[in-house]
Amino acid sequence: MGRREEWVRIGATVLVLAVLVVLFLRDRSPDEATRVDDPEQTVTTPTEVPEESEESGDGADAEAEAVPSPPEGLAEIVCQQFRRPVRLRVLSFNTHRSTGTLDAVAEEILEIDPDVVLLQEVDRQMLRTGGIDQAAVLADAVGMDGSFSSNLARGAGQYGTLILSRFDLVQQGRIPLVRSPRAEARGLQWVTLDVSGQAVRVYNTHLDATRPDVRLAQARQVAGILDDDDLPTILGGDLNAWPASAAVAAIGTRLTDTWTAAGQGRSATSQGGKKIDYLFVRGLRPLVSQVATSGASDHHRLWADLRLRPPGRCAT
């Protein structure tokens, strides 16, 4: 659960408690109020318990009637607290297998203070990176839930993408992408997050780096998958393609590029001065998008602040 969501829930809880306190004070009997306010009022203790009238009914029913009922509209008041727009920050970062050390990568993630993180080029127990489970180490270092998706397996080791989130991960999966023979396998990782009671789909990918025709085919496959998804959507990753390329256009016709909508400052995400990393959204409003330089990877960090619109009505 994100910190912003926690504050909203705390505010709603305080509101409910305040309403119940007001009801309790309002429903106190006039006699009871007199005894408290009049210093000369004598309080007597009955020596005998009066017999229960036959018409009094069951004692449990009488007790239930003494509890004040919530006023009309209380449920709607609480609902409105949860219908406020949610602001969240998303980061996409190609870590270059954390060759700049895991500690450096974790520090650069924490500097952005994101709610959702999309990482590419992550190793798990690969010999080339010391057999370390980078996914588990990074999730623990930044204090988030993690979902790893493998695109390549070598012995006991795996290589792929990682999604980290402060929100609850309720679903996860991977869709293999088309590729040329003997080329590195690529995939479209996805998770479903519970963001303030709303389901949000998050996709993470890393497209082919060498062949533009294969990259375009992969982008079109991703676009077709997005067409069948009606949830609020975030798609990020290393597309290995320039902004004016056909591959980026294939996805950009379905989603909004956060940089095009709200980019500030320099746009290049590669050390070579090109923009090849992206964050796209649908059903969320881009508020700002920026690139933060990295000393731990051969890619810079791309992040965006987003606003999730509240649902049209409260759930029953």
Q: 122: closest CA among 106, 107, 144, 110?
A: 106
Q: Are residues 137 and 152 in the same domain?
A: yes
Residue 213, pLDDT score? 96
Q: Are residues 172 and 49 in the same domain?
A: no
Q: What mean pLDDT do residues 5-25 have? A: 64
Q: Report residue 79's pLDDT band, with 50, 70 and 90 as the boundaries.
A: low
Q: Are residues 187 and 302 in the same domain?
A: yes
Please state, in angstroms and as integers, the Cα–Cα distance from residue 51 to each residue in 31, 55, 109, 151, following that order: 21, 11, 72, 78
Q: Report residue 67's pLDDT band, with 50, 70 and 90 as the boundaries.
A: low
Q: Are residues 72 and 105 in the same domain?
A: no
Structural domain boundaries, residue 144: 86-308
Query: Last residue of a domain, which of 36, 59, 82?
Result: 82
Residue 309 tokens read as: 């619109």
Q: Are residues 153 and 70 in the same domain?
A: no
Q: Report residue 258's pLDDT band, with 50, 70 and 90 as the boundaries.
A: very high
Q: Are residues 22 and 165 in the same domain?
A: no
Residue 84, pLDDT score? 83
Q: Are residues 27 and 143 in the same domain?
A: no
Residue 68, pLDDT score? 64
Q: How many CA atoms lie within 13 A of 157 on its CB side?
A: 14
Distance of CA 1 to the CA centre of its chain: 7
Query: Last residue of a domain, which of 57, 82, 107?
Result: 82
Type and span of the H or E element at 233? strand 233-238
Q: Are residues 74 and 110 in the same domain?
A: no
DSSP 72-116: TTHHHHHHHHHTS-EEEEEEEEE-GGGTT-HHHHHHHHHHH--SE
Q: Are residues 145 and 48 in the same domain?
A: no
Q: Report residue 35's pLDDT band, with 50, 70 and 90 as the boundaries.
A: very low
Q: What mean pLDDT do residues 49-56 have? A: 48
Query: 56: Cβ–Cβ under 8 A, 6 or more apart, which residues?
Result: 62
Give the pairing of strands 116-124 and 86-94.
Answer: parallel
Residue 60 tokens read as: 């449990």
Per-residue model confidence as pLDDT tens digits over 116-155: 999 999 999 999 999 999 999 999 999 999 999 999 999 9
Residue 28, pLDDT score? 55
Q: What mean pLDDT do residues 10-38 have? A: 57
Mean pLDDT, rounded, of the chain: 85
pLDDT for residue 43 is more than 50:
no
Residue 56, pLDDT score? 47
Residue 202, pLDDT score? 98
Model-level pTM? Answer: 0.76
Per-residue model confidence as pLDDT tens digits over 117-128: 999 999 999 999
d(CA 206, CA 188): 8
Q: Are residues 218 and 287 in the same domain?
A: yes
Q: Are residues 44 and 155 in the same domain?
A: no
d(CA 97, CA 126): 10
Residue 112 tokens read as: 């952005």
User: Is the backbone of residue 98 left (phi > 0), alpha (psi -120 to 50) or beta?
Assistant: left
Residue 47, pLDDT score? 44
Q: What mean pLDDT do residues 47-66 have? A: 51
Residue 72, pLDDT score? 72
Residue 201 tokens read as: 């789909």
Residue 181: other Cβ atoms inside 10 A: 4
316: in domain: no
- Count up the domains in the chain and report the number: 2
pLDDT for residue 110 is more than 70:
yes
315: in domain: no
Helices H / strands E in the chain, number of each: 9, 12
* Cβ-contact 296, 98 below 8 angstroms: yes
Q: Are residues 45 and 68 in the same domain?
A: yes
Per-residue model confidence as pLDDT tens digits over 82-106: 668 999 999 999 999 998 899 999 9
142: in domain: yes
Q: What mean pLDDT do residues 223-228 have? A: 96
Query: Last residue of a domain, which of 13, 47, 82?
Result: 82
Per-residue model confidence as pLDDT tens digits over 158-186: 999 999 999 999 999 999 999 999 899 99
Query: 155: Cβ–Cβ under 8 A, 6 or more apart, which residues?
Result: 127
Query: 12: Cβ–Cβ under 8 A, 6 or more apart, which residues?
Result: 78, 81, 82
